[in-house]
């Protein structure tokens, strides 16, 4: 390269050196933080299930609710499993934003008689990503704190708008799994994907 | 620049520019990507022309479409309504005539919402000149009877309660061009707001366009301004001169009419009003009416224009003439040898109210972790609002709790400026954290240092989302230690545990208020504070005549507050002797004796009693009673009183089959875009505006999947479970992070190239 051409490049791109370095540094910092935080959320979701698993076993052994860590606001209330998809997850006692970060949560005001609707919500990008793979006829097993086991069969799926739709808590003997829709959306939206099931009475 | 020895500055310029542009684009995309995806998610919610049961908020006859769970609304011809208002209750008989405009045999489904306390007891189906009366049966049995008749080609009707305020009526085997008349009778209580009583009759039958913000369940059951529309074919899609375009085959996406069009469905309406107290002004809010007074307490009215288009709800309001003390109203009915009475207690209205006593207000605020996010600011705003409304002669205290609890002041203090300032600072400093241990806080709140004091009214105002598991223990605590305190629960957030809070308020002889978002804080708290400031009659007890077995609801009798009527429904062997109501009216003993044999006989009192009993049983069931037993009890009461309930349905079956064997029932989809609607102007002499197509609706993508089983759903205006947010930030963060890093990497390439050259 000739001296002249280097000079001309320096002249044309003279501004890029300091400004570019700063811009790159900022972008890397932001990008790194975002990626890290995103991965942290996923990792937390995975790790929490392991801790919850031992808390659940402890709960089953003692028959009383047992928190996975002392400051937790939610505790394990059930184990949800789908044999076909080899899914087994611990369900937490509420579906608040905090609880859902660690596991699927049982929605409050679910009929305490156990005969009415049970609704369990989970994040579409972590614990409840498997909902999209559920098919009509799939069996879902729910083990509750008292050691009781109920089997549900998927009867259908539904996409609803959370702004205009609520669940009917009196629908009998059914379990509804709730997650956000669409599954691959990046932003939060008001659509929800529901998996509707009916208890299999054996 | 050894790696690129042959590249000259002349060439790298444009290439660098391209890389730079890509980098910029990637950054930009990372940011805007979020927005576009969000927009896409919203777009997916756009409705096509079909409706599901959940879309329907007013009576509509729905015809099955090709898509399971989706229906095509059938044209509605005419409605005739007769409503009798008796004191706090109204009995409505609504007759609606529909036709099947198609060529096939169809099964229709008629969906109609009613007030939560509405009792549907009669359903008649009139086909041609046949009248088929619905019979009350256990829900499963009714469905079996209906399905059997349907398969046999018999005409049948099935009226079911989907939820306490939504009913469906299925009609099987409606023949081609046949008309079906459905007559439904129901009971409801009138709405009361302060001194103003009102009754709404839903006329609007185009729920698909109901805007979200208009669906306020408390005030507007049926949205005014939208109208019923029949669907008409898009002229463009029809060959010129087509007389009968109903054969257009594409019914899964039928065109939908703009709601402003098609003011068909003429309605005739008559109301007889017996207020139960001396009547002040009687007004119709939106329609011209002819009003004829019948004595001091009554009026009869009908539409001045006889028939009006169903484009807005009918609302009737009436007010009492001024009274100085509570007046009691009494109505009675004898059913199957039992006497039923309805007693109404009216708080005084107008300017002559007795002076209210000062209050001792104990505020309990939940600042546990579950309140984090939107709930905490709402609870704080609600509490601050209530603090502002305290008067200097009132006393107050604040208790906050998470897994610990603390009292702001060791004991209730005067609501002077200094104390209020301390309290405001305390409330503003609260943040949501920790677990939820409600019982100790509740105990502290109910701990009354002066249980026998009568100078102040003691009120506990509990602000929480109710995310708790030990409901029973709390409930017992309230029932046992309530004393003179009254418990008012304020549910915070989008999904508070309203079962617990409603029941807790009932046990605490107070009321439940729900604040769903920050915008509602002021209006809802204002209503509550107004009530708290005006407790009129407290410690109400009802003594029924001795020697007769009496079952009355609600039990215990709640206090009388400003703007609230108290209504007692009772059943007894023989309504004679005196009912004595005692209470404490602004510091003075108050007593009313009502001779039970004096009441005016009115039909429907028994049904109201039964409906209240069912509501009470449902509440017990949810609070954890013997489920089998309460279910059996509900079934028993509903069957005895011919009421549709969660356990019972009305079913009507025609004896003779009408559908020929060879004809399939739901095989043909219903063309809703028949021009039959045009016959309305001939029938009723009204000129109909030319329908305008809403092409945008037709073009909407069908993204809604439907399942055959849908009754788990509830429209948001019912008290169902709100669906939580179920997506974390992770995908967005990861994606943005990757794009940003990519942008940084590309920029770095560019930068290195430039600096190496230097």
| Gap between the Cα atoms of B587 and B152, Å rounded | 69
Residue A63, H or E segment: none
Q: Cβ contacts (< 8 Å) between A187 and chain B: which residues?
A: 34-35, 37-38, 41, 732
Chain B nearest C-alpha distance from A69 (Å): 12
B726 contacts A179? CB cut-off 8 A? yes
B721 contacts A167? CB cut-off 8 A? yes
- Name the residue in chain B with its Cα closest to that of A18: B751
Is A161 part of a structural domain of the chain? yes
Q: Cβ contacts (< 8 Å) between B708 and chain A: which residues?
A: 155-156
CB distance B490 to B513 below 8 Å: yes
Beta carbons within 8 Å of B602's beta carbon, 6+ residues apart: B86, B87, B274, B331, B332, B333, B342
Chain A nearest C-alpha distance from B182 (Å): 27
Does A85 lie at the interface with B, CB-CB under 8 angstroms?
no
Nearest to B212 among A100, A112, A164 (CB): A164
Interface test with B, best of A25, A34, A78, A131 (most B CBs within 10 A): A34
pLDDT value at B39 more than 70: no
Nearest to B43 by CA among B697, B695, B725, B700: B700
Other beta carbons within 10 Å of B54: 24
User: In this predicted structure, what is the pLDDT of residue B140?
Assistant: 92
Helices B730-757 & A3-13 angle (0-180, nearest 10): 140
Nearest to B714 among A158, A168, A185 (CB): A168
User: In this predicted structure, what is the pLDDT of residue B526?
Assistant: 86
- Name the more confident of B630 and B165: B630
- Name the residue in chain A with its Cα closest to that of B495: A108
User: In this predicted structure, what is the pLDDT of residue B12?
Assistant: 44
Map residue B92 onto helix, strand or coil. strand
User: In this predicted structure, what is the pLDDT of residue B53?
Assistant: 54
B13 contacts A1? CB cut-off 8 A? no
Residue A153, H or E segment: strand A149-161
Is A54 part of a structural domain of the chain? yes
B40 contacts A112? CB cut-off 8 A? no
CB distance A162 to A179 below 8 Å: no
- Name the residue in chain B with its Cα closest to that of A169: B720
B41 contacts A10? CB cut-off 8 A? no
Instruction: Tally helices (H) and strands (E) across chain A.
Output: 3, 9
User: In this predicted structure, what is the pLDDT of residue B351?
Assistant: 42
User: In this predicted structure, what is the pLDDT of residue B142?
Assistant: 94
Does A138 lie at the interface with B, CB-CB under 8 angstroms?
no
Q: How confident is the model at residue B638 (pLDDT cuts 50, 70, 90)?
A: very high
- Name the more confident of B269 and B518: B269
Nearest to A185 among B37, B495, B708 (CB): B37
Is A152 part of a structural domain of the chain? yes
Please, what are the averages of pLDDT over each run of 10 residues along chain A (202 residues)? Answer: 47 59 86 90 86 85 74 82 91 82 76 66 89 89 82 85 67 81 77 85 70
Is A157 part of a structural domain of the chain? yes
User: In this predicted structure, what is the pLDDT of residue B348?
Assistant: 57
The mean per-residue pLDDT over the stretch B545-574 comes to 80
B714 contacts A166? CB cut-off 8 A? yes
Domain ranges of chain B: 1-46+703-758, 53-319+643-691, 331-353+538-640, 359-467+479-533
**A 106-135: CB under 8 A from B:** 107-113, 115, 117, 119, 121-126, 128
Interface test with A, best of B68, B498, B721 (most A CBs within 10 A): B721
A1 contacts B8? CB cut-off 8 A? yes
Over residues B683-736, the pLDDT tens digits come to: 222 222 222 222 222 222 222 222 223 323 333 333 456 677 777 778 888 888
Is A107 part of a structural domain of the chain? yes
Beta carbons within 8 Å of B341's beta carbon, 6+ residues apart: B330, B331, B332, B569, B570, B572, B575, B579, B596, B599, B605
Distances (CA, A) of B558 to A135, B386, B508, B537: 51, 22, 9, 9
Chain B nearest C-alpha distance from A194 (Å): 10
| Gap between the Cα atoms of A60 and A118, Å rounded | 20
Q: How confident is the model at residue B461 (pLDDT cuts 50, 70, 90)?
A: very high
User: In this predicted structure, what is the pLDDT of residue B651?
Assistant: 93
Chain B nearest C-alpha distance from A178 (Å): 8
Other beta carbons within 10 Å of B229: 26
B726 contacts A192? CB cut-off 8 A? yes
Is A24 part of a structural domain of the chain? no
Chain B nearest C-alpha distance from A105 (Å): 10
pLDDT value at B35 more than 80: no
Over residues B601-631, the pLDDT tens digits come to: 878 888 889 988 888 887 666 555 677 888 8
Q: Cβ contacts (< 8 Å) between B711 and chain A: which residues?
A: 168, 171
Nearest to B714 among A121, A165, A182 (CB): A165
Is A26 part of a structural domain of the chain? no
- Name the residue in chain A with its Cα closest to that of B46: A161
Most confident of A162-166, B18-22, B419-423: B419-423
User: In this predicted structure, what is the pLDDT of residue A45?
Assistant: 85
A190 contacts B45? CB cut-off 8 A? yes
User: In this predicted structure, what is the pLDDT of residue B17?
Assistant: 53
Lowest pLDDT segment from A31-45, B18-32, B155-169, B480-494: B18-32
B737 contacts A37? CB cut-off 8 A? yes
Q: How confident is the model at residue B642 (pLDDT cuts 50, 70, 90)?
A: very high
- Name the residue in chain B with its Cα closest to that of A70: B435
| Gap between the Cα atoms of B597 and B299, Å rounded | 25
Does A3 lie at the interface with B, CB-CB under 8 angstroms?
no
Lowest pLDDT segment from B44-58, B256-270, B507-521: B44-58
Q: Check whether the bond before B574 is cis (ω within 30° of 0).
A: no
User: In this predicted structure, what is the pLDDT of residue A164?
Assistant: 64
B44 contacts A182? CB cut-off 8 A? yes
A142 forms beta bridges with A80, A150
A34 contacts B370? CB cut-off 8 A? no
B734 contacts A35? CB cut-off 8 A? yes
User: In this predicted structure, what is the pLDDT of residue B14?
Assistant: 52
Chain B nearest C-alpha distance from A83 (Å): 23
A38 contacts B731? CB cut-off 8 A? yes
Lowest pLDDT segment from A115-119, A184-188, B269-273, B467-471: B467-471
Mean of pLDDT over chain B: 69
The mean per-residue pLDDT over the stretch B189-193 comes to 71
Identify the architecture of domain B359-467+479-533 in CATH: 3-Layer(aba) Sandwich (3.40)
Structural domains counted in chain A: 1
Does A18 lie at the interface with B, CB-CB under 8 angstroms?
no
A9 contacts B9? CB cut-off 8 A? yes
Domain extent for A72: 34-199
B731 contacts A125? CB cut-off 8 A? yes
B44 contacts A27? CB cut-off 8 A? no
Percent of chain B residues past pLDDT 70, beyond the cut: 62
Q: How confident is the model at residue B30 (pLDDT cuts 50, 70, 90)?
A: very low
B361 forms beta bridges with B396, B459
Q: Say which CATH superfamily domain B53-319+643-691 falls into.
A: tricorn interacting facor f3 domain (2.60.40.1730)
Does A33 lie at the interface with B, CB-CB under 8 angstroms?
yes
Distances (CA, A) of B454 to B357, B520, B695: 9, 34, 68
| Gap between the Cα atoms of B433 and B437, Å rounded | 12
| Gap between the Cα atoms of B747 and A23, Å rounded | 8
Q: How confident is the model at residue B446 (pLDDT cuts 50, 70, 90)?
A: very high
User: In this predicted structure, what is the pLDDT of residue B300?
Assistant: 92
Residue A95, domain CATH? 2.40.260.10
pLDDT value at B238 more than 50: no
The mean per-residue pLDDT over the stretch B112-122 comes to 74
pLDDT value at B552 more than 70: yes
* ipTM score above 0.85: no
Q: Cβ contacts (< 8 Å) between A194 and chain B: which residues?
A: 712
Does A19 lie at the interface with B, CB-CB under 8 angstroms?
no
A42 contacts B624? CB cut-off 8 A? no
Is B331-353+538-640 a domain of CATH 3.30.2010? no
Is A168 part of a structural domain of the chain? yes
Lowest pLDDT segment from B5-19, B170-184, B739-753: B5-19
- Do domains B53-319+643-691 and B331-353+538-640 share one topology? The answer is yes
A34 contacts B736? CB cut-off 8 A? yes
Map residue A178 onto helix, strand or coil. strand
Q: Cβ contacts (< 8 Å) between B502 and chain A: which residues?
A: none
The mean per-residue pLDDT over the stretch B18-40 comes to 43
């Amino acid at each position: 390269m000739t001296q002249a051409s280097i000079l001309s490049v320096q002249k044309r791109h003279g501004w890029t050196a300091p400004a570019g370095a700063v811009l790159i540094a900022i972008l890397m910092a932001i990008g790194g933080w975002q990626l890290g935080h995103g991965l942290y959320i996923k990792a937390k979701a995975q790790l929490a299930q392991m801790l919850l698993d031992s808390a659940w076993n402890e709960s089953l052994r003692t028959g009383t609710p047992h928190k996975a860590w002392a400051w937790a606001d939610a505790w394990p209330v059930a184990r949800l499993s789908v044999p076909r998809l080899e899914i087994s997850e611990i369900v937490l006692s509420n579906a608040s934003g905090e609880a859902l970060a660690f596991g699927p949560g049982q929605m409050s005001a679910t009929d305490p008689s156990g005969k009415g609707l049970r609704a369990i919500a989970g994040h579409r990008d972590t614990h409840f990503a498997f909902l999209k793979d559920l098919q009509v006829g799939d069996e879902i097993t729910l083990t509750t704190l008292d050691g009781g086991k109920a089997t549900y069969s998927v009867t259908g799926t539904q996409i609803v708008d959370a702004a205009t739709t609520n669940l009917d808590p009196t629908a009998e003997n059914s379990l509804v799994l709730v997650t956000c829709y669409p599954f691959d959306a990046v932003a939060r939206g008001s659509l929800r994907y529901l998996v509707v099931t009916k208890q299999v009475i054996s | 620049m050894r790696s690129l020895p042959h590249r000259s500055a002349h060439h790298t310029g444009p290439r660098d520019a391209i890389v730079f542009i890509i980098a910029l684009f990637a950054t930009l995309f990372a940011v805007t990507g979020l927005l576009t995806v969000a927009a896409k998610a919203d777009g997916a919610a756009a409705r096509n022309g079909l409706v599901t049961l959940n879309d329907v908020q007013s009576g509509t006859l729905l015809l099955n479409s090709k898509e399971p769970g989706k229906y095509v609304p059938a044209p509605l011809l005419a409605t005739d309504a007769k409503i009798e208002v008796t004191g706090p209750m109204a009995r409505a008989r609504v007759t609606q005539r529909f036709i099947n405009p198609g060529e096939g045999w169809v099964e229709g489904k008629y969906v109609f919402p009613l007030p939560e306390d509405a009792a549907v007891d009669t359903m008649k189906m009139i086909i041609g000149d046949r009248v088929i009366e619905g019979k009350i049966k256990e829900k499963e049995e009714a469905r079996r009877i209906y399905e059997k008749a349907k398969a046999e080609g018999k005409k049948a009707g099935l009226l079911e309660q989907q939820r306490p305020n939504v009913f469906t009526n299925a009609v099987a085997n409606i023949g081609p061009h046949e008309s079906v008349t459905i007559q439904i009778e129901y009971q409801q209580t009138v709405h009361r707001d302060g001194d103003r009583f009102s009754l709404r009759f839903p006329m609007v039958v185009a729920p698909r366009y109901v805007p979200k913000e208009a669906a306020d369940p408390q005030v507007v059951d049926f949205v005014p301004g939208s109208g019923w529309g029949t669907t008409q074919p898009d002229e463009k899609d029809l060959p010129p001169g087509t007389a009968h375009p109903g054969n257009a085959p594409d019914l899964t996406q039928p065109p939908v009419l703009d709601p402003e069009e098609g003011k068909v469905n003429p309605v005739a309406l008559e109301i007889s009003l017996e207020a139960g107290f001396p009547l002040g002004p009687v007004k119709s809010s939106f329609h011209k009416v002819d009003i004829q007074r019948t004595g001091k307490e009554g009026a009869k009215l009908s539409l001045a224009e006889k028939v009006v288009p169903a484009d807005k709800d009918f609302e009737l309001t009436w007010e009492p003439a001024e009274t100085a003390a509570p007046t009691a109203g009494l109505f009675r009915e004898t059913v199957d040898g039992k006497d039923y009475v309805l007693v109404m207690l009216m708080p005084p209205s107008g300017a002559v109210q007795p002076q209210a006593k000062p209050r001792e207000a104990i505020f309990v605020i939940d600042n546990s972790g579950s309140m984090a996010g939107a709930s905490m600011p709402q609870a704080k705003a609600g509490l601050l609002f209530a603090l502002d409304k305290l008067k200097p002669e009132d006393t107050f205290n604040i208790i906050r709790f998470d897994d610990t609890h603390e009292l702001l002041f060791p004991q209730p203090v005067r609501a002077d400026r200094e104390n209020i300032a301390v309290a405001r600072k305390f409330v503003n400093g609260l943040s949501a954290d920790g677990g939820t241990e409600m019982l100790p806080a509740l105990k502290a709140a109910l701990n009354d240092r002066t249980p026998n004091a009568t100078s102040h009214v003691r009120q506990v105002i509990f602000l929480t989302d109710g995310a708790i598991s030990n409901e029973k223990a709390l409930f017992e605590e309230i029932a046992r230690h309530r004393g003179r305190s009254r418990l008012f629960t304020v549910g915070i957030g989008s999904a508070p545990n309203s079962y617990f809070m409603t029941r807790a308020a009932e046990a605490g002889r107070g009321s439940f208020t729900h604040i769903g978002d920050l915008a509602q804080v002021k209006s809802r708290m204002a209503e509550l504070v107004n009530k708290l400031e005006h407790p009129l009659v407290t410690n109400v007890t009802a003594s029924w005549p001795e020697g007769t077995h009496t079952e009355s609801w609600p039990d215990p009798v709640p206090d009388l507050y400003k703007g609230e009527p108290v209504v007692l429904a009772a059943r007894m062997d023989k309504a004679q002797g005196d009912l004595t109501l005692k209470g404490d009216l602004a510091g003075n003993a108050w007593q009313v004796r009502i001779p039970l044999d004096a009441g005016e006989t009115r039909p429907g009192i028994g049904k109201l009693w039964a409906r209240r009993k069912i509501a009470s049983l449902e509440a017990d069931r949810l609070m954890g009673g013997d489920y089998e037993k309460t279910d059996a009890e509900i079934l028993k009461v509903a069957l005895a009183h011919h009421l549709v309930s969660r356990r019972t349905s009305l079913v009507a079956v025609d004896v003779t089959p009408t559908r020929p064997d060879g004809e399939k029932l739901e095989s043909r989809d219903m063309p809703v875009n028949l021009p039959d609607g045009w016959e309305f102007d001939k029938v009723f002499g009204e000129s109909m505006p030319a329908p305008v197509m809403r092409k945008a609706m037709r073009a909407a993508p069908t993204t809604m999947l439907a399942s055959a089983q849908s009754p788990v759903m509830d429209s948001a205006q019912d008290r169902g479970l709100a669906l939580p947010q179920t997506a974390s930030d992770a995908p967005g963060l990861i994606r943005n992070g990757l794009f940003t890093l990519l942008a940084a990497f590309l920029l770095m390439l560019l930068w290195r190239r430039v600096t190496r050259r230097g």
